[in-house]
Amino acid sequence: MAANRGEIAIRIFRAANELGLRTVSIYADEDRFSIHRFKADEAYPLDKNKGPVGAYLDVEGIVALAKSKGVTLIHPGYGFLSENAAFARACAREGITFIGPSPELLESMGDKTAARHLAAQYHVPTLPGTEEPVTDPDQALLVARQIGFPLIIKAAFGGGGRGMRVVEKPGLLPALLAEAQAEADKAFGNSAVFLERYISRAKHIEVQILGDKHGNVVHLHERDCSVQRRYQKVVEIAPSVALDPKVRQELCDAAVKLAKGIGYDNAGTVEFLYDMDSREWFFIEMNPRIQVEHTVTEIVTGIDLVRSQILAALGEPLHGDEIGIPAQADIPCIGYAIQCRVTTEDPTKNFAPDYGRILNYRSAAGFGIRLDAASGDAGSVVTPYYDSMLVKITAMGRSFEIACQRMDRALREFRIRGVKTNIPFLENLIRDTTFRSGQAHTKLIDTQPS
């Protein structure tokens, strides 16, 4: 069962199908016409009284449904219940294998403040920030003055840019704290947030980790996720283009050391910020799940991450015949890959989400292009209930410049009518000289396109 929806559910079904596993889809009432429902061997509705998002957060309802249908494995995807330790425990209680790390690891790494403690234990540098989640505005202001401004508020139990706010000065803290808490609660079912020093010119680098139940851990190189809008990743690159090789090695070594230290046993991502001015790097969090941007890592390494997740959860060793991961020194990193997220947002209206029926849909294709989609056809309806991502485009090339050229071509090939998309914005971005030079940082696209 994919305890999720959309593109990632379809990705899970494809990997499971290749392994000869029967697949089960679940869907909220608002998703009854969604494509992921029809990509599985079986599909079952969730409790319509829970609402469009609540249905996918219903731990007991989903586990009970899985048990009644004879499900033996559950993959949580990303978002929703993917970092929920109670969900992993409920699966184990019913004898269902959870495709992800143990509930204990989900608790320690899903809680961003606890993860900072663990990183410090293994001598991995962390940004100055709160030791525990904050709730009270007065307490937050006290701690904020110690950290200094600007600072950033982050959700303690989730990612994907939800529950994040940059605070430039003390007077803005109470209102932004309340906003971040409300958004975190809605997205992750937990309003806990923490405060952290904000680096204005940073590269956001993440290292892909893969572990098994036998103590083996490897890294699959790094991704550069610096190009973000409203703290949501928009473009991802593997490997990072202009990162000092010494820093690259330090980050990968630190990620493996941390993952081995905590006994990590599935796919995960260790995230770092690299200060482009001071040339320091800091651990910021670990995501104990598959990520949206995993496609670029799959392209440059040739390793199917979702397939590897399923097999690792079944007890297969990383270096055995089934998963087939080579020794760390032999894991390839061939060429470059770029992923762009096409969303149904209107760049001319401050990226306001757009909804409605897709009247015409013609996608890109050709050498060096991979598409991961869930709503990509004429007649599909984009609803206001979920993330606005329509399709992920991944372009690859022997060099970063060739990958950029292919992405530019693919974006121009798309024809989507009926809803607005961010494709014009992405076209401008891919042609941007700062981006092409590899000097993109987290503030690069905090503006509307020209």
Paired sense of beta strands 415-417 and 381-382, if any: unpaired
Residue 212 is encoded by which pair of tokens? 């098994």
Q: Which residues contact 235 (CB under 8 A, 6 or more apart)?
A: 227, 338, 339, 340, 341, 426, 429, 430, 435, 440
190 C-beta neighbours (distance < 10 Å), count: 19
Task: For residues 162 and 142, give the distance between their C-alpha atoms in angstroms, rounded to a whole number.
Answer: 24
- DSSP-derived 3-state class of residue 395: strand
Residue 247 is encoded by which pair of tokens? 């820093």
60 C-beta neighbours (distance < 10 Å), count: 11
Backbone angles phi, psi at 123, to 5 degrees: 60, 35
**14-19: long-range contacts (C-beta < 8 A, 24 or more apart)?**
14/39, 14/306, 15/304, 15/306, 15/307, 15/310, 16/75, 16/310, 18/307, 19/307, 19/310, 19/311
Paired sense of beta strands 24-27 and 381-382, if any: unpaired
Cβ atoms of 153 and 78 closer than 8 Å: no
Cβ atoms of 87 and 4 closer than 8 Å: no
Of the candidates 299, 338, 366, which has an alpha carbon nearest to the alpha carbon of residue 436?
338
73-97 burial: b if 16+ Cβ within 10 Å, else e: bbbbbbbbbbbbbebbbbbeeeebb
Continuous segment of H or E residues that includes residue 165: strand 165-167
Active site residue 22: no
- DSSP-derived 3-state class of residue 126: strand
Task: For residues 389 and 382, give the distance between their C-alpha atoms in angstroms, rounded to a whole number.
Answer: 10
DSSP string for residues in 285-348: EEE-S--TTHHHHHHHH---HHHHHHHHHTT--TTSTTT----GGG----SEEEEEEEESEEGG
The one catalytic residue in 289, 307, 341, 406 is 289
Residue 284 is encoded by which pair of tokens? 């910021």
3-state secondary structure 224-263: EEEEEECCEEEEEEECCCCCCHHHHHHHHHHHHHHHHHHC
Continuous segment of H or E residues that includes residue 211: strand 202-211
Active site residues: 289
